[in-house]
């Protein structure tokens, strides 16, 4: 058991960059481990998803933890929607631990994920309905390929979506608060 847990912990973090933006994105190994467990690697697997939590400073947006999926979510092969009450409980719980709500993640049954029209609409609704202290959110899609190639992450603010360029880093990186 311990052995299989250790094996599933990725040996890398994922770094993200946007052109002309100094702030970098860091997705930590424990967050990647959680996301990796929900990859749609079988033909019958339904979409999974949840929320992203971490810290933000001038230099870095750091994804420390991913939560979900939850009982009561809407899930099918090509659709995911978090149970709103469960998502809110997760946000309140992480807030108590000093972690900010950073955005949403869900899986796609494709190797290298891209956003669907449904995803764009969902993110618009989310941005306009939430009372955030930051005016932008992350949207992450977890595909079937392993590593950075199987991830797609956008920075969404208003109608503006920008996709982070992702790479893997095997160096141990300090998580700064």
Please report, as ranges, the residues that interact with Zn ion according to CB under 5 A: 116, 119
- Both tokens of 109, joined, read 């049954």
CA distance 52 to 56: 12
CB of 116 to Zn ion, least distance (A): 5
114 vs 134, which CB is nearer to Zn ion?
114
Three-state secondary structure of 114-134: CCCHHHHHHHHHHHHHCCCCC
Q: Which residue's Cβ lies closest to Zn ion?
A: 119
CB of 47 to Zn ion, least distance (A): 7
47 vs 65, which CB is nearer to Zn ion?
47
Q: Are 102 and 63 in contact (CB under 8 A)?
A: yes
Q: Is 145 helix (H, G, I), strand (E, B) or coil?
A: coil
CA distance 101 to 156: 14
62 vs 152, which CB is nearer to Zn ion?
152
26 vs 109, which CB is nearer to Zn ion?
109
Counting Cβ atoms within 10 Å, is residue 117 exposed (0-12), middle (13-18) or buried (19+)?
exposed
CA distance 140 to 122: 12
Distances (CA, A) of 149 to 15, 46, 146: 12, 21, 7
CB of 108 to Zn ion, least distance (A): 5
17 vs 34, which CB is nearer to Zn ion?
34
CB of 110 to Zn ion, least distance (A): 10
């Amino acid at each position: 058991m311990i052995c299989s847990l250790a094996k599933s912990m990725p040996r890398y973090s994922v770094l993200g960059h946007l052109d002309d933006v100094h702030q970098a994105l860091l997705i930590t190994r424990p967050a990647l481990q959680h996301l990796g467990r929900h990859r749609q690697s079988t033909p019958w697997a339904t979409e999974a998803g949840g929320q992203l939590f971490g810290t933000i400073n001038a230099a870095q947006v750091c994804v420390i933890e991913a939560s979900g999926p939850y009982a009561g979510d809407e899930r099918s092969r090509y659709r995911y929607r978090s149970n709103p009450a469960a998502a809110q409980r997760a946000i309140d719980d992480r807030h108590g631990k000093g972690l900010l709500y950073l955005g949403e993640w869900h899986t796609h049954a494709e190797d290298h994920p891209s956003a669907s029209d449904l995803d764009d609409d969902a993110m618009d609704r989310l941005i306009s309905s939430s009372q955030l202290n930051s005016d932008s959110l992350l949207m992450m899609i977890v595909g079937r390929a392993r590593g950075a190639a199987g991830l797609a992450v956008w920075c969404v603010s208003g109608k503006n979506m920008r996709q982070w360029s992702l790479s893997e880093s095997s160096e141990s990186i300090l998580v700064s608060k």
